[in-house]
Structure 1
Amino acid sequence: MAPTRRIRWHLAWALALWLPLQALAYDQNRVATDDAGRPLRIQGSVVVVEPDIELTEVTAGGLQEPRREWSEAARRHFPAAVARLLDEGGTARRPDFDLPDDLAPESRLGQVVRLNEAVATSIAVYTRSGSYLATKDRRLDWTLGPGVETLREATGADYALFTYIRDSYASSGRKAMRVLGFLAGAAMGGYVDIGGGQQVGVATLVDLRTGQVVWFNLMSNQSGDLRDAEGAAQTVDDMLSGLPL
């Protein structure tokens, strides 16, 4: 996975910081509708594009240190769990599509990936209550344009599922600091939580025949564990629960 894509999708963390701090869980699930206002459903095959996943450990001081072995495990477990969900929903699948590690941003495929990132970020920002584009209502009415044909030719699929996840876990030192924060807050008659780990995910389902974004979700949890198959399955259930199967 190219480093530039990993860095760019630290935007997912920035989006998460805009969520209500008191919320233990949040999702921004949206499905596009047809001209009659009916939710669209998947009509065709789906390809799972290589998910952009990075797992980190939160140190006592609050720094996030990447953990390669955790990330590699998550990159195995998550796609497998997505495949099971699609199969259970009776959705036709094409083989998962791995993006080249040396994918050039200026290539046609690279441009599709970058455009999806930009569009997903815009959807997250501008369809939230009180913060949306004046030229759009809050319907899911976004497109990547005809350039997605490149991905359709490469995969033979009708839809592409893009997923981006950042997941962090508190170290033992961080957990101890949280306990001290609680005790200090209690002593002063208040409430102090310096925070621990957090799971943030952004997903889009794009129709490769038209470029239309059919479904979108931004999910944020203070729980969840992608390091094993069971935890990955739960994350997939949470993150893709509104997928229009």
Structure 2
Amino acid sequence: MIMEKPMTPTRKPRVSPVRLVLLLLLALLLPLSALAYNKNRVATDANGQPLHISGSVVIIEPDIELSEVLAGGVTEPRREWTQAARRLYPAAVRSRLTGASKTLVPDYRIPVDLPPASRMGQIIRLNEAVSMSVLAYSSPGNQLATKGKRLDWTLGPGVEELRKATGADYALFTYMRDSYTSAGRKALRVVGLLLLGGDIGGGSQIGVTTLVDLRTGQVVWFNFLAKQTGDLRDEQGASATVNNMLQGLPL
């Protein structure tokens, strides 16, 4: 059984310039997603066959924040919701991977005071940048000529540092923002539909996840999720979200 340390009540969401740009990019893509959008990709071997997980997996502490969409459309972070999601989501991931007979090592919790310029800090930031690149340049009409339709991204040999720290062969990174409509916003949506004939919008669930081979640095799997439904505040909702986020994972 994997033992994990209790969540620190005062822990705040990690913020970096790359992550802020990623959030803006996701916000731009979300209106194009209709009710749900799920885009997963798997790297292939020299023969063009999809790769499969062969070794142990470590879940890197997910970057999750839950918010409430107020009547005027402003999004306000909710600490209690976020803490619940940070506990429930990794637990649901462990359950899913264990059920698929995958070997897990203890989750890696990112130190609150981790210096961005440290080796580990650079790995975390590099994964953010690579994830943004995959999302931006793997969509139809915006693919890089040098990569075509292949999932051909890497974090480089520096990830060996993370492998030494965790003992895992693969690292699963997750970034997610989930928002829920307030009572006031719900009322305005009804008014908008009745008087304006359109939906002014409410909550949404967006996320990016990658699986990185810590022996080579290769991104072996990527998924982007954008939905107008979903709930990470309870166990059932977290399990449903994990099923969507891990869709296409090469088990």
TM-score above 0.5: yes
Give deviations 1:169-194, integer Å, cap 9, x for gaps. 00000000100000112xxxxx3111
Structure 1 residues 7 and 229, CA gap change in structure 2 (3 angstroms): farther
Alignment-mate amino acid for residue 154 of structure 2: T
Equivalent residue pairs, number? 240
Structure 1 vs Structure 2: percent identity of aligned residues? 62
Determine the structure 2 residue equivalent to 1:188: none
Letter in 2 for 1:66: P
- Structure 2 equivalent of residue 171 of structure 1: 182
Contact in 2 for aligned 1:33/1:40 (Cα 8 Å): yes
What does residue range 111-126 of structure 1 map to in structure 2 within 5 Å? 111-126=122-137
- Superposition pairs for residues 66-81 of structure 1, below 5 Å? 66-81=77-92
TM-score, L = length of structure 2: 0.92
CA-CA distance at 1:27 after TM superposition: 1.2
- What is the CA–CA distance in structure 2 between the aligned matches of 1:234 and 1:16, rounded to whole Å? 22
Task: Write the letter of the residue equivalent to 1:18.
Answer: L
Which of 144, 149, 155 is the aligned partner of 1:144? 155
CA distance in 2, matches of 1:49, 1:126: 24
Mapped pair 1:220 → 2:226? yes
Q: How does 1:183-198 map to 2 (within 5 A)?
A: 183-185=194-196, 191-198=197-204
Q: Which runs of 5+ in 1 are unaligned?
A: 186-190
Task: Indicate the larger mover: 128-137 or 41-50.
Answer: 128-137
1:5 partner amino acid: V
2:102 corresponds to 1:96: no
Query: Contact (CA 8 Å) 2:14, 2:63: kept in 1 or not?
Result: no
Other-structure match for 1:5? 15
Identify if the C-alpha distance between structure 1 residues 51 and 171 changes in structure 2 by more than 3 Å, giving closer, same or farther: same
Give the corresponding residue for 1:232. 238
Structure 1 runs of 4+ aligned residues shifted over 6 Å read none
Gaps spanning 5+ residues in structure 2: where?
1-10
CA RMSD of aligned residues (A): 1.4
Contact 1:12/1:201 (8 A) holds in 2 = no
Q: Name the counterpart of 1:56.
A: 67
Question: What is the distance in 2 between the residues matched to 1:6 and 1:75?
Answer: 19
Using the alignment, how far apart are the partners of 1:208 and 1:135 within structure 2? 24
User: Cα deviation per residue 1:63-118 (whole Å; 9 max; x = unaligned)?
Assistant: 00000000000000000000000001110000011000011110000000000000
Partner amino acid, structure 2, of 1:9: R
Provide the C-alpha distance between the structure 1 equivalents of 2:199 and 2:33, rounded to a whole number of angstroms: 11
Tell me if the contact between 1:57 and 1:65 (Cα under 8 Å) persists in the aligned partners: yes
> Could you state the TM-score of these two structures normalised by the residue count of structure 1?
0.94
